[in-house]
Amino acid sequence: MKPYPDLVKAIHREGYIFIIIFAAVTFVLGSFSANLGWICGICTLWCAYFFRNPERMTPVGDDLVISAADGIVTKITEITPPEELELGDEEMIRVSVFLNVFNVHINRIPVSGKILSLHYHSGKFFNASLDKASIHNERQSVKVETKNGTKLGFVQIAGLVARRIVCDLEEEQEVVAGERFGLIRFGSRADIYLPLKTAILVTEGQTCIGGETVIADLKMKKSEQPKFERR
């Protein structure tokens, strides 16, 4: 495992304007009422907390698939990937990670390789934990090819209160697992589409850490996939 080489500020740049607005409202309302000032001050601190941008330690391995986001694995299912990913009509394994408003919302590259295509789909804003969010919600889909030639997809999905998806990637860009590539504001979901033969190393209900938790191992046989028990 290795630390990221890039040094970034503790707050993502997307959060600056919101923190400034929250702080300004706190100052104005606080001048009229101390109670309002305290309430708005707490909201300002939450806003800064929401846009926090922590460092992560990423496991190294060309065949490892790393969680693209912090949150709970809500569903692992076999399903046909969205058409825009151009991954074919065969079913793939989809691992869905739901982010609530208290999770880190910085998204990270799940595998090292090359970005093959990007597709933005405008849509609705259902609760991101619902299965239909993968089809109907606003989303940013990314197709990537690993260094070993495996093609897979990952998708940023807007949620009930999310209204902006940020993706800083470009086609043909070489990427490294664990690198930051964007965020989704105020609640969302991240899906990863993997070949059916992939050994999945997480289970539904598990908490993932973006850039650290290993979702799958592309070279491990599915028969070697670990079994999980609730205790």
How far is the C-alpha of 76 from the C-alpha of 205, rounded, in Å?
A: 10
Render the burial of 87-106: b for 16+ CB within 10 Å, e for the rest.
beeeebbbbbbbbeeebbbb
Question: Among 120, 129, 131, which Cα is nearest to 161's?
Answer: 129
Question: What distance in Å separates the CA atoms of residue 100 and residue 93, rounded to the nearest whole number?
Answer: 23
> What does the H/E/C string look like for 4-23?
CCCCCCCECHHHHHHHHHHH
Q: Take residue 110 and report the two structure tokens written for it.
A: 């799940």
**Residue 216 tokens, joined:** 């799958």
d(C-alpha 153, C-alpha 173), whole Å? 15
Alpha helices in the chain (DSSP H): 16-30, 34-50, 133-136
The DSSP secondary structure of 144-179, one letter per residue, reads EEETTS-EEEEEEEE-SS---EEE---TT-EE-TT-
The residue with tokens 């151009």 is 86
> Which residues are catalytic, by number?
188
